Structures are given as structure tokens and as C-alpha cells.
Amino acid sequence: MTTTRPEPNLAEAAHEASDAASLYERLGGTYGIAGAVDILVDRLFDNIAVNANPAVHAHHGDPANAAGYKFLVTGWSIEAAGGPKCYPGKDMVTGHEHLHIDTAGFDAVWTEIDATLNFLGVPDAERSEFMAIIESYRSQVVQA
């Protein structure tokens, strides 16, 4: 009598592996996130609705702030997506309290993040998951 060993189901294994992958991994890890933030921050600095807030424009209107801001937003996003702990900046309340951001200001940034992920071809599932994380910080960022 011969016993038959079941063939490994590779399709199922791949599916399980992709289920197990963190959002950080599915966004392309540090290279993917840093590349997206590089483009996002340039768009935020140029975005008329985002810069309608004078305190925001005082920061985003100075190109010298771009490199440091890209570094901070990249580190924050890596951690928020489940990657390694690497964010050295302020918590979201302290980082924004002096800016008096209102709902329209938050929505302008939300829309630009969503549009940039769409522009870069991030799949719907990962885009929705990341945007839900952004949304979950609304009450900490909106302080006007």
C-alpha cells in the first residue's frame, strides 16, 4: 500500500502570506513609503487649499522645510503602517496645536494623501487601509 503525500497548495500559501503581510510591507516597505512621501510633500507644499491656513503656509511656503518634513512624515507613516519604530517627532496633538487646523484644512490634506496614493497606483485595499489610519487621527489634528 502506498501512501500519497498531499501536494502543497502554493496558491493558498501565497494568499495566506499576503494576508499576513503588514500594511508596511504591502506599501513597499521603507523605500515605497519614502518614495510616496517624497511626492506627497511636494504636492502638499503646492496645494492651495492646504496653504489657505496662514500658520500652515508659514511652514509649507518655505522649501527649506521640505527635507526635514519628508523625514518626519516618512518615519510616522512607517510606524503607523506597522513597520519598525523609527519616528522621532512629536505626537499628533503637540505637533499641530499651534496650527489651529479646522475640518476643511484636515479634509484638504486627507484628499491630497488619497489622491497621491491613487496617482502612484497603490491598490484600493492598501489605500483604504492607510486612509482609515489617517482618519483615525482627525480628532488629534483638528484643533480649531
Binding site for ligand HEM (CB under 6 A): 50, 53, 56, 59-60, 72-73, 76, 89-90, 95-96, 99, 101, 105-106, 109, 134, 137, 141
Would you say 13 or 86 has its CB closer to ligand HEM? Answer: 86
What minimum distance in Å lies between the beta carbon of 113 and ligand HEM? 8
The distance of closest approach from Cβ of residue 141 to ligand HEM in the complex, given in angstroms and rounded to an integer, is 4
> Is 114 exposed, middle or buried (CB count within 10 Å of its CB: 0-12, 13-18, 19+)?
middle
Measured at CB, which residue is nearest to ligand HEM?
89
Listed in sequence order, the residues at least 6 apart from 126 whose beta carbon sits closer than 8 Å to its beta carbon are 23, 26, 27, 117
Q: How far is the CB of 90 from ligand HEM (least distance, A)?
A: 4
Between CA 19 and CA 91 the distance in angstroms is 30
Q: Are 122 and 36 in contact (CB under 8 A)?
A: yes
